[in-house]
Amino acid sequence: MQGQILELEQEVDQMEKSLAILMENARPNTAKVNALKTSIRINKDLIEAKQAELTQTTGGADSLASKNARMVVAEADYQTREMMVQAAVQSVEAARVAADRQARYLATSVAPVRPEDPSYPRKFENTLLSFLIFGGVYLIMSLTASILREQV
């Protein structure tokens, strides 16, 4: 629309120049002058109509200027959303890298080997220890019993 308006304005400028050249003559051709004036008026009316199309609403439809303004706002919103999506993708990638780092510590790289001889319970050591404790208890009881017999 802007291109058509610009083209019409250039035509009007050319016609006005031609009209000015014709008017410089001492006796200009009246038919040519009237034809140029009519063409200039028609072109100016077309320019006004096209400019009105750009700025005025017709039949409930929005004007091209308001559509253009909404389009600019929508483009800005789209760019903002696109930047938000890129930031979210970057944060997901950073989280994935951090999770991969943590997974190294959680995974067992080698399965543990079970010993052939268990380290606990120690049967022989526990048996020896229980004999010593019960032997000590027996000695203390027998000494106490012999001391009590002598006293009686």
Task: For residue 114, name the pLDDT band (cuts at 50, 70, 90).
Answer: confident
Residue 34 lies in a domain: yes
The reply to whether 41 and 7 lie within a common domain is yes
Phi/psi at 58 (5° precision): -130, 120
Residue 127 lies in a domain: no
Task: For residue 146, name the pLDDT band (cuts at 50, 70, 90).
Answer: very high
The tokens describing 111, both together, are: 């399965």
Q: Quick one: what percent of the chain has pLDDT higher than 70?
A: 93
The tokens describing 113, both together, are: 């080997």
Q: Write out the residue range of the structural domain in which residue 82 sits.
A: 64-107
Task: Give pLDDT tens digits for 31-67.
Answer: 999 999 999 999 999 999 888 877 776 666 677 777 8
Residue 70 lies in a domain: yes
Angle, vertex CA 121, rays to CA 115 and CA 122, nearest 5: 95
Residue 19 lies in a domain: yes
Span 86-113, average pLDDT: 85
Task: Record the pTM.
Answer: 0.41
Beta bridge partners of 61: 58
Q: How many domains does the chain have?
A: 2
- Which candidate, 22, 16, 21, places its Cα nearest to that of 41? 16
Q: Is the pLDDT of residue 107 over 70?
A: no
